[in-house]
Structure 1
Amino acid sequence: MTDERLFALQRRERLLDELWRHGSLRVRDMARTLEVSELTIRRDIAALAARGLLTRVHGGATLPTDLDPVRRHRPAATPFTIGMVVPSLDYYWPQIVSGARSAAVALGVQIQLRGSSYDQAEDRRQISRLISAQQVQGLLLAPNLEGEGLDEMIDWIGDLPVPAILVERQISRWTPTPRQLGWVRSDHALGLEMAVRHLHEHGHRRIGLVLSKGSPTSAHLAQGWHKACAELGLPGEFVVRESVALDVPGHREIIRGILRRCRTSRITALIVHSDPDAMSVAQYLAEQGLAIPGDMAMVSYDDEVAHLAEPAMTAIRPPKSRVGRLAVEMMVSRLRAGRRHPAQRVLVLPELILRNSSVKRAAGV
């Protein structure tokens, strides 16, 4: 194999990696990153598109969708508009929105985005705005399904005049709604299992879990925790439900109490949700002269900013971009098929990203 061919393969692997991480790429940005011409990147994209590995769009590429494979005759774009309501526009959710928009571009549909909060009243307000405008044919929703009013919220969504798919949310297996709701979300329980098993493989037999207080993800993470501990024969009682990020009042006292419990329980590794909380714990450990992973191994859950920690944090990365893409694909499939299309409920597997916070480096490395 010639060097030129080898370099082409390496570039294309980088392009595909970028696509799977973010759902889309721009020719200009990748040319700058890989230090090659834009023409070279366009040729790489054309070669990958010919193999059905991506979809070419103006100025870049997106991942191919299940509804839009490479064909001799590309179907005409479907003029659907899909409303999307997410609880945050600054953490976790931007990658989901990016994935949804990439799929929308590939499928020729429009996305109308609304930001909400973790509040049912605000969710209803934003959803109602989209419905009253009479411009959307479907909805992708991430409402607050915690606490009181859950049944009423589900019934209300089920009675909307357009179909809805939940994103990073799910309901019980059966609900008495006129239209059974579908959903697509990350398999957070399995992601937590991956973290436990990773630490177990590296010799840790006493592991602790710190869950972000009030997060809708916590219930799934706790489920994965208890399952993994039971299967591996590990003690599973060390579970703390507290938010300890740097902007949380009194976070240092909370962390001090957690570490005091760690010493008492002889905990050697912590799994922390989410990245800001994990980084806050790591910073406190460093202030106390404790080494990571020597004195305490750590794994973060989310992988939004875990790579910025010192040391860089091993993390479980939910497939956020892929969740957004699948939500749009599912909705377009449903809109094309009409009322007879069955609801789908999809789990997408997270990924373990290995860095320096969970594995001791060999001497001299």
Structure 2
Amino acid sequence: MREPVDLRRRRILAAVQARGTARVRDLAAELQVSVVTVRRDVEELMREGKLRRGHGVVRSPLPAQELPEHTMADGDTVAVVVPERHSYLYETLHGARTVLDAAGLRVALHIAPQVPGAERPQVERALADGARGVLLAPRWRDPAAEEADHRWLAELDVPTVLMERRPPKGSALHAMDSVCSDHWYGAHLAVEHLVGLGHRRLVFATRDDSPTARTLRAAFAEIAGAHPLVEEWTWALSSSRGGLDHEPTDVPDLAALLRKAGATAAVLHGDVDALMLVQQLAEHGVRVPEDCSVVAYDDVVAGLASPPLTAVSPPKGEVGRVAAELMLRRLDGVPAEGARSVQRVELLPTLKVRGSTRPLLAQ
């Protein structure tokens, strides 16, 4: 005998309220009815305000703090793996979390320590704990470390999205979803800003510890080298983190380098190194921006400096949000014949003009 609709819906409500969340397909199996039937019931219960929809799950309308800690159903977790002590990527994490929380998915944060190959154990642990997908931002201090991760990442059997990382063309990860900032465009913004203020002799300084740093070094060289209004430019390390398997590279005295090059402006990756340069210049009687304009790259703490630093601001939170949205689409379970194409998304940075840059005065 078919179960009355009202009774079935009461059972659905009871199951969801007991767990906090439940998958439609699991409810259908428990009630021994079709997924279509449960979806119709859920739609009606949502119209009555008795249920809320998450991503692939049904949720209780009770506030999260009123639910017991164990109510998240098994498998309703997405792992986010980011490097230790990386405030830039923590902003990306928060962007991803807003999307995943709204979809009814729990974020399991894994911090990869500063040792080579640290991400793999964290990912394996997350998968052993039942994570349905992985959002990942490997440290990849050098190309060798990146290449070492390609094979095992390509063999993961859950949806995986890289954040702020762009695998090389033709690599094993070329066909993996990824979302990152267009750092070439960020370098372009910095150069055009300074050239527009009349600066013709520039110093660029980047770190040596990430794919972003390597991308920026190449971008600055390409853009400044081809720019008709840039008379002289030079590149140097802003700081060297070094790998644990080799000694940090010597970092030049940037204030001395600016004097030697006759440069009137500098772009530094990242914020802390730019702040340190401003302090170093002040110790040598060089005023920012009167004597030298400074642009930071990252915009995590640039606005807190004195003077507040003009900065290229990659869309850190937006990278996380878009990556999480890609993840949700993968978790939809689209049949193979209707599978979505792999996406390699690039988002454009913006320039935040503050007090550390000004037009070059006639000399």
Distance 2:98 2:216 in 1: 28
* CA 231–254 in structure 1, closer or farther in 2 if over 3 Å, else same: closer
Alignment length, in residue pairs? 282
Offset at residue 96 of structure 1 (A): 0.8
Structure 1 residues not aligned, in runs of 5+: 1-71, 246-252
1:132 aligns to what? 128
Task: State the SS of the aligned residue for 1:358.
Answer: coil
Distance 1:315 1:242 in 2: 15
2:199 aligns to what? 204
Task: State the SS of the aligned residue for 1:173.
Answer: coil
Matched, 1:355 2:336: no
Offset at residue 342 of structure 1 (A): 1.7
Distance 1:270 1:95 in 2: 25
Offset at residue 103 of structure 1 (A): 0.8
Distance 1:361 1:206 in 2: 11
Distance 2:300 2:145 in 1: 31
- Letter in structure 2 aligned against 1:349: L
How do 1:1-365 residues align onto structure 2 when only pairs under 5 Å count?
76-79=54-57, 80-89=76-85, 91-133=87-129, 135-145=130-140, 146-176=142-172, 180-233=175-228, 234-235=230-231, 237-243=233-239, 254=251, 257-336=253-332, 337=334, 339=336, 340-359=339-358
Offset at residue 89 of structure 1 (A): 5.0
Distance 2:232 2:327 in 1: 39
Q: Contact 2:134–2:160 (CA<8 Å) still a contact in 1?
A: yes
* CA 349–254 in structure 1, closer or farther in 2 if over 3 Å, else same: same
Distance 2:314 2:220 in 1: 16
Task: State the SS of the aligned residue for 1:92.
Answer: helix
Distance 1:200 1:124 in 2: 44
- Letter in structure 1 aligned against 2:56: T
Distance 1:222 1:361 in 2: 24
1:13 aligns to what? none
Q: Looking at CA atoms only, which structure, 1 or 2, has the larger radius of gyration?
A: 2
Q: Contact 1:244–1:277 (CA<8 Å) still a contact in 2?
A: no
Determine what percentage of the aligned residue pairs are the same residue.
32
* CA 294–287 in structure 1, closer or farther in 2 if over 3 Å, else same: same
Per-residue CA distance 1:282-322 (angstroms, 9 max, x = gap):
00111222111111110000111111211111001111100
Normalising by structure 1, we get a TM-score of 0.71
* CA 93–307 in structure 1, closer or farther in 2 if over 3 Å, else same: same
* CA 163–88 in structure 1, closer or farther in 2 if over 3 Å, else same: same
1:23 aligns to what? none
Distance 1:283 1:144 in 2: 28
Distance 1:324 1:209 in 2: 28
